Structure 1
Amino acid sequence: MDKYQQSQKNQLFKTDTHDPYRSQRFEGSAICPQCDSVYHAGNWTWKSPENTVIHDAQTVTCPACRRIDDNMPAGTLTLSGSFLLNHRNEIINLIENTEKKEKADHALERIIKMTDSGDDLIVTTTGIHLASRLGHALEAAYNGDSDYQYGDDEYVLTVSWKRDE
């Protein structure tokens, strides 16, 4: 087998990344006691389907609440640069509004916390999709340079966004 065939084979049979917080499938419905999201037919949502019997549902902590409790983010967004220092409130509003839109459609995509580390702002999320969407929202609104690093064997995304004046 030549090098080309070997490289194609490696791409073809790449293993899936492992997410220890991925919820196991189970029969029936469930409600998260912390956030009131509803599990039905393999998905966590905010609204229960019309024919779902909620009073018989079991209580199961959703993967997002488990990540928040354990402080184990799937996505980390690091913002830096002089532009951040001068436009901090606008950027935080953009981040919060983007989270509201994403969370309305996807119950498991939430911000865990926003922390300051020197001049940087670090935003941790429960899912990689929210971290990616935040990075793209910052690029669309304020330009800057973004770098997206996906974990090789973990369900993790690290996004770095930087803009100097």
Structure 2
Amino acid sequence: MDKYQHSQKDKLFKTDKTDPYLEAHRPGGSAQCPECGAKYHAGQWSWHADASHVSVENFVCPACRRVADRAAAGQVRLAGGFLQKHREELVHLVRNTEAREKAEHALERLIDVAEDGDELLVTTTGLHLANRIGHDLEAAYDGDTSYRYSDSEFYLSVDWHRD
């Protein structure tokens, strides 16, 4: 591949857009969130980072800031007759999906699960959790699902419907 083709390919797959909640305020070194206990080390937030050998500052993680600001990165809207008959079961699936995703990815959490008329609106701190909830709904209950990313690439809206 020549140099020109390679540089064009890089432009297609790399974006200079950055999520303001991830990039705006990064700890200088190692940190721990005083709200949830997540740890920041080597550029990553996790539950298991070993920063015992370095000084650690208190720093509120991006997920806790999103929850406090109610600034969702993703939403899942559930609708249809199936929701009305199986609401508790569907909420249980959403909460179990969050528990699995959150255990591995410290910044993927639910902000809210709320009634919105005849629909259920789930808001999340991360795109991946919204995406995973949509896929888990499809896998468990079929239905029609659509995924729409915003132009900024930092917001995902998932609609799930089953009659």
Question: TM-score under structure 1 normalisation?
Answer: 0.86
Q: 1:122 is matched with which residue?
A: 121
Whether the 8 Å contact between 1:29 and 1:54 is mirrored in structure 2 is no
Q: 1:34 is matched with which residue?
A: 35
Aligned letter for 2:85? N
Cα distance in 2 for residues equivalent to 1:28 and 1:13: 29
Q: 2:138 is matched with which residue?
A: 139
5+ residue gaps, structure 2: 1-7
SS in 2 for 1:129: helix
Cα distance in 2 for residues equivalent to 1:44 and 1:141: 30
Q: 1:22 is matched with which residue?
A: 22
Deviation at 1:68, TM superposition (A): 0.5
Cα distance in 2 for residues equivalent to 1:74 and 1:91: 21
Deviation at 1:27, TM superposition (A): 4.1
Aligned letter for 2:22? R
SS in 1 for 2:22: coil
Q: 1:61 is matched with which residue?
A: 60
Q: How many residues align?
A: 154
Q: 1:87 is matched with which residue?
A: 86
Whether the 8 Å contact between 2:72 and 2:111 is mirrored in structure 1 is yes
After superposition, the C-alpha distances for 1:85-119 in whole angstroms (9 at most, x for unaligned) are 00011111111111100000000000000110111
Deviation at 1:154, TM superposition (A): 4.5
Cα distance in 1 for residues equivalent to 2:132 and 2:13: 28
Deviation at 1:28, TM superposition (A): 2.5
Identical positions, percent? 53
Aligned letter for 1:70? D
Q: What root-mean-square deviation, in Å, do the aligned CA atoms of Structure 1 and Structure 2 show?
A: 2.0
5+ residue gaps, structure 1: 1-7
